[in-house]
């Protein structure tokens, strides 16, 4: 595989262009073209000769949108093709305050969570920083006439969640490079506050992330209230205890001043009766956190069942009465098939 320009910082792009004996401003033209989601060949300000030279070493387009699925509620789902032919998926959710894009960080995943389709065939490979960024540049370009926000924050894709396929903290270096690049003032310039990173709870990496000085929204997939039950659906629970995850979250809060989030997928007969609600209250009451309850997206290869809506609201009500800040995530885009790796699987 050739190298990927979108992996580079602006300074690195300048160094590269200077190394070709070109003037500095060519780097700006190149970098701005890439930020607009263009392939190298489509950047009209660069000479044909320079583009040829660049393409000897670098990919013209590290990823392409292979297919878009449109939901009646406005949600869009994408299948992206990488330069090596691998397929990843993504989602764009349209809210009143802006567009939130869900991006993948790995092809497949090796965490083995029982409810998740991304992990069924294990990890294929990590995505590079530029492959993660390019998912956003492409979708942002697709919607370039729907720019929202003001000044430096004006763009179509206003929020990003690292909740697609893959475990972001299992691809730590690339993900941190991606975060620095997307937040960079001479790059895409997104505020870290508009980015959420979801992890199954890789404790040492959570501490490491707290030191990076990137004030994003840290979200942990909890899905259980004790370690033994958690290990039934999440093998990672054998390596890291809930108590240690909570300590790492607390540390994240101390370091960044940002409250943290938990995801809790409601799985019938597994984690969502009254006793579980009470255990969750006991675990999290008084902590600077918010709980996102998620409806299970049933995966046909697994026999886990979603909780009915009435029971889901009852569970939410009990958490709220117990003093927790919690919401039940709205279900959108249901008419265009599953998410969480199901789209890619059905394609493959």
Active site residues: 89, 340
In sequence order, which residues have a C-beta less than 8 Å from that of residue 197 and are 6 or more positions away? 162, 168, 169, 175, 179, 209, 216, 217, 218, 219
Instruction: Name which position in 99, 115, 188, 252 contacts ligand SAH (CB under 6 A).
Output: 115
Residues 143 and 180: their CA atoms lie apart, in Å, by 23
Nearer Cβ to ligand SAH (114/314): 114
Nearer Cβ to ligand SAH (79/91): 91
Q: Does the footprint of ligand SAH cover residue 270 (CB under 6 A)?
A: no
Residues 113 and 122: their CA atoms lie apart, in Å, by 11
Rounded least distance, CB 292 to ligand SAH, Å = 8
Instruction: Name which position in 225, 265, 271, 345 contacts ligand SAH (CB under 6 A).
Output: 265
Residues 213 and 215: their CA atoms lie apart, in Å, by 6
Which H or E run contains 199? strand 195-199
Q: Judge whether 205 and 173 are in contact, CB under 8 Å.
A: no
Q: Does the footprint of ligand SAH cover residue 221 (CB under 6 A)?
A: yes
Q: Does the footprint of ligand SAH cover residue 199 (CB under 6 A)?
A: yes
Nearer Cβ to ligand SAH (115/240): 115
Rounded least distance, CB 114 to ligand SAH, Å = 9
Gyration radius (Cα) of the chain, Å:
21
Q: Judge whether 98 and 139 are in contact, CB under 8 Å.
A: no
**Residues binding ligand SAH: number (CB under 6 A):** 16
Q: Does the footprint of ligand SAH cover residue 104 (CB under 6 A)?
A: no
- Contact residues toward ligand SAH (CB under 6 A) are 113, 115-116, 163, 167, 198-200, 221, 263, 265, 294, 296-297, 299, 340
């Amino acid at each position: 595989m050739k190298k990927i320009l979108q992996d580079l910082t602006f300074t690195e792009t300048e160094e590269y262009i200077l190394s070709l004996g070109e003037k500095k401003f060519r780097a700006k033209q190149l970098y701005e073209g890439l930020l607009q989601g263009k392939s190298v060949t489509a950047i009209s300000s660069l000479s044909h000769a320079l583009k040829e030279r660049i393409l000897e070493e670098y990919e013209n387009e590290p990823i392409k949108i292979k297919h878009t699925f449109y939901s009646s509620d406005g949600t869009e789902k994408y299948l992206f093709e990488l330069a090596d032919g691998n397929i990843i998926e993504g989602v764009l959710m349209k809210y009143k305050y802006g567009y939130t894009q869900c991006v993948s960080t790995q092809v497949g995943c090796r965490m083995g969570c029982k409810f998740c389709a991304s992990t069924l065939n294990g990890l294929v490979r990590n995505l590079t920083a530029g492959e993660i960024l390019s998912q956003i540049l492409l979708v942002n370009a697709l919607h370039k006439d729907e720019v929202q926000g003001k000044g430096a924050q004006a763009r179509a894709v206003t929020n990003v969640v690292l909740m697609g396929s893959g475990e972001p903290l299992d691809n730590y270096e690339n993900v941190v490079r991606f975060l620095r690049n997307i937040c960079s003032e001479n790059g895409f310039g997104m505020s870290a506050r508009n980015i959420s990173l979801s992890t199954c709870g890789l404790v040492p990496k959570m501490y490491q992330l707290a030191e990076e000085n990137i004030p994003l929204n840290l979200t942990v997939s909890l899905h259980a209230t004790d370690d033994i039950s958690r290990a039934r659906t999440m093998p990672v629970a054998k390596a890291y205890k809930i108590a240690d995850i909570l300590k790492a979250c607390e540390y994240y809060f101390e370091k960044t001043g940002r409250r943290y989030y938990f995801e809790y997928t409601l799985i019938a007969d597994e984690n969502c009766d009254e006793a579980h609600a009470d255990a969750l209250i006991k675990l999290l009451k008084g902590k600077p956190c918010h709980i996102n309850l998620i409806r299970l997206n049933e995966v046909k290869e697994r026999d886990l069942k979603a909780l009915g809506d009435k029971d889901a609201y009852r569970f939410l009500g009990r958490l709220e009465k117990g003093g927790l800040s919690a919401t039940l995530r709205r279900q959108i885009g249901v008419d265009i098939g599953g998410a969480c790796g199901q789209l890619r699987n059905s394609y493959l």
